[in-house]
Amino acid sequence: QRSEAPPARRVAVVGTGYVGLTTGACLASLGHHVQCCDVDRTKVERLSRGEVRIHEPGLGQLVREGIRTGRLEFTHCSTAAVRRAEAVFLCVPTPMAPDGSANLAQVESAVREVRDHLPADSLLVTKSTVPVGTAARLSELLDRRDVAVVSNPEFLREGLAVRDFLNPDRIVVGTASAAAARRVSELYARLEAPTVHTDSASAELIKYAANCFLATKLSYVNDLAELCERLGADIGGITECMGHDHRIENSFLRPGPGWGGSCLPKDTAALLHAAEAIGADLPLVRAAVEANRRHQRRVVDKVVAMCGGSVTGVRVGMLGLTFKAGTDDLRDSPAVAVAQRLAELGANLIAFDPALHGDEPGVPAGIALADSAYQVAKGAGAVLVLTDWPEFRDLDWPQMVGLAEKPVIIDTRNLVDPRVLERAGAVFCGTGRAPNRD
């Protein structure tokens, strides 16, 4: 971070989920006065007491610090939140509509709620991921010449939200107004990051372009893993060598059960939909999405094969339900998709996830939540590693294997040392490498 203090501004944040709460707490930590609002009254009450229920390292502390210094406040009333704000950040969900497009209903309803209460010369800043044309559409909806709409897409990763917000790779500010761009950039003045000033359409597209690239990279790695299994090669050495090449870079090169989460599935679908709507095509992105469906199905096929052709009545233990390590987010998690398919095939499912406790709302019916990995292994006909939580690597695997009814391990993340499993007498397979027994 740069040391010189920027002028403190009055800011409002609409939506206090992963993006909104991080934005609010971090902007307050940078010295701004932030009013956050959310339609979820229970959430607002908890946040006002400094209770953060999402799993984000450092976020609870920042929220409590913001409350203590008086720079961060929460309300359920969006009109009250925006009334004195110089900039209003929209951080509401843009989920996938049934046709694949981005559903903008919550963005538009948030704008309708606040439009008559925005101060003159304020800025409406879109952080939600929205398709090209949304800034223009919101300007129309606002119908206020004195309020500029600015696209400022967010790139933070769940599990690293605070760190990513405060140390971004880049800040994107999209607007035709140089003055509005300067004012939004100033809010981030203490952050050391390249700022890209562009038009709103490009800013909106940048976010989709980046996420579709990442999804394609992951699908390619999983395609390679599938090829490795058939050719008798090992994906681990291959991706390690690819990652040494600085043109490729080693992130997003690990094979797994398919990609998911709250962003990649809906953003790939939305870009494909937007392209199709204008008669364009993105065959690479389409192939990445189709490959991802196949990779998730392949996990289920492997489990069935490792269980001797049927999982009906088999107790399947699952390690990890979230879409990746470091988050409690279950939205579009490949682990959940795999679990649902196994349940349809008649498996009895028990799962452990370090970020999920008790009666977690997003856990699909039919999956029992265990308190520990060892409880999952006890009496299991197969144990499945689905999320790359590092603690799964360090389990006492000989004990895990000993607790299971059958020593069958399917490690979709290649997390566990195969030599340890071999010594423990397990029958196991990973992703992109040969199983130890055919």
Do residues 40 and 20 lie in contact, with contact meaning Cβ atoms separated by under 8 Å? no
Minimum distance from residue 70 beta carbon to ligand NAD (Å) = 22
Q: What is 367-427 written as a DSSP string?
A: EEEPSSHHHHHTT-SEEEE-S--HHHHTS-HHHHHHHSSS-EEEETT--S-HHHHHHTT-E
158 is in an annotated binding site: yes
Q: Which is nearer to ligand NAD, 262 or 414 (CB)?
A: 262
Residue 37 among the catalytic residues:
no
Residue 102 or 314: which CB sits closer to ligand NAD?
102
> Is 157 annotated as contributing to ligand binding?
yes
CB of 84 to ligand NAD, least distance (A): 17
Is 66 annotated as contributing to ligand binding?
no
Among 400, 398, 403, 430, residue whose Cα is nearest residue 415:
430
The span from the CA of 141 to the CA of 399, in Å, is: 61
Task: Output the smallest distance, CB 375 to ligand NAD, in A.
Answer: 29
Tell whether 94 is in a known binding site. yes
Distances (CA, A) of 291 to 207, 216, 255, 305, 331: 22, 9, 13, 20, 19
Options 212, 228, 263, 429, the catalytic residue: 263
Helix (H) / strand (E) containing 35: strand 33-37
Give 91 or 416: the residue with its C-beta nearer to ligand NAD: 91
- Looking at the Cβ atoms of 14 and 424, the one nearer to ligand NAD is 14
Q: Which residue is nearest to ligand NAD (CB)?
A: 17
Least distance between ligand NAD and beta carbon 158 (Å): 4
How many other C-beta atoms can be found within 10 angstroms of the C-beta atom of residue 55? Answer: 19
DSSP assigned state of 5: P
Which residues does 63 contact at the CB level (< 8 Å), separation at least 6?
Answer: 21, 25, 47, 50, 52, 72
In angstroms, the CA 397 to CA 399 distance is 5
Interacting residues with ligand NAD (CB under 6 A)? 14-20, 37-40, 43, 78, 91-94, 106, 109-110, 113, 128-129, 154, 156, 158, 262-263
Q: For the CB of residue 193, give the shortest distance to ligand NAD in the complex, in Å.
A: 16
Nearest residue (CB) to ligand NAD, 106 versus 250: 106
Confirm or deny that 407 is annotated as ligand binding. Answer: no
Q: Residues at the annotated binding site? A: 38, 43, 94, 129, 155-158, 207, 252-256, 260, 266, 324, 331
Give the residue numbers marked as catalytic.
Answer: 263
Q: Residues at the annotated binding site for NAD(+)? A: 38, 43, 94, 129, 158, 266, 331
